[in-house]
Amino acid sequence: MRGSRFGALALLTVCALVPTAGGAVAAPPAVGPDATALQAALDRVTATGAVAEVRQGSAVWRDSSGKSRLNGRQAAPVDGRFRAGSVTKTFTATVVLQLVGEGRLRLSDTAERWLPGLVPAPGGDKITVRELLQHASGLPEYTDGLLDGDAPHDRFRTWTPAELVRRAVKDGDRNRPLLFPPGTDHHYSNTDYIALGMIIEKVTGRSYRTEIDQRIIRPLALRDTRLPSSSPFLTGPHSHGYEPVEKEDGTLVPVDYTTVNMSIAGAAGEIISTTADLDHFFRTLLSGGLLHPAELREMTADTSGDGWGLGLEMAALPCGTIVGHGGGTPGYRTISFHTLDGTRQVTVDWTDWGTDADASPAALALMTAALCPS
């Protein structure tokens, strides 16, 4: 939720640091991941605790670093679950594109067709499904005023999607204007994906949670992945996440935010998963196991020119283009990136509480070591 982006800030840091390089990443080497180098890279990411999985072809490296609790003794669990924030968007986008492939929805459909009156501002009736997927709708961010850093002001409140969208499109009884005419610019907005979750429900008659579960989580046997809805609990093995809270004297203290109601993130950022499950999901997606070729091409094409596919973020490493998504919620930061063919993968999650050195450069180094081994 940092930067009102449920953690996509991590990717922006990557994009800013890495020089542009064209083309796909070269074929993986015959040898597997360099465990020593990867562990050293992961150790540099660690704020409180970190977990990672790297895949190069059929070879897998998975490990952890640091502790599961601040000032604790127990190691961060290698198979630990975490809140993956905006990585949820790729799951939501996959269901939307499946519906497109089934002929039940079109990328050119307007949100107005499925959700009449959703965006009352002038031009709001012109917003298309494609523009929602690619953050080109012009919709304002609904999280403004709801967060302190990444932490919700009311951590146990249950929000409905309609309430969240209303925050973006209304200021009291007045309509909020769009940030720009639909399709003329790009601005990352969680509101876009809350609206897409509502469209999924309108098209199918079932919630986006049910559709993601039955179309992706169950078929892929992602046993440690779930959409918790209003349940605030993170069950199973996990590290704890912390957020900085300012005391009256101005000092910052860590507050445990492991337990939090993530209905505030919904279809934009509520998912709980593991490194292994996320790599499995992206590997299946990018190899064509979830979408028809036409829809997969749409998803992985950066027609924006700004690094946005449809539910995917794109970046350039020295050895080529990678795709995936960043994510963050109170106390947790996630990056999950992959070569376009899914043969090289890295997913890493780390916990901090906002006072440690920025871990993004170290995470970038880990990504480079995993996806561009020498």
How far is Cα 309 from Cα 130, in angstroms, rounded to an integer?
Answer: 10
Cβ atoms of 274 and 224 closer than 8 Å: yes
The active-site residue, picked from 64, 68, 86, 336, is 86
> 112 exposed, middle or buried (CB, 10 Å; 0-12, 13-18, 19+)?
middle
How far is Cα 313 from Cα 270, in angstroms, rounded to an integer?
Answer: 18
How far is Cα 126 from Cα 149, in angstroms, rounded to an integer?
Answer: 32
Place of tokens 């996630």: 334
What is the 3-class SS of 255-323, one letter each residue? EECCCCCHHHCHHHHCEEECHHHHHHHHHHHHCCCCCCHHHHHHHHCCCCCCCECCCCEEEEECCEEEE
| 86 flagged as catalytic | yes
How far is Cα 300 from Cα 134, in angstroms, rounded to an integer?
Answer: 11
Catalytic site positions: 86
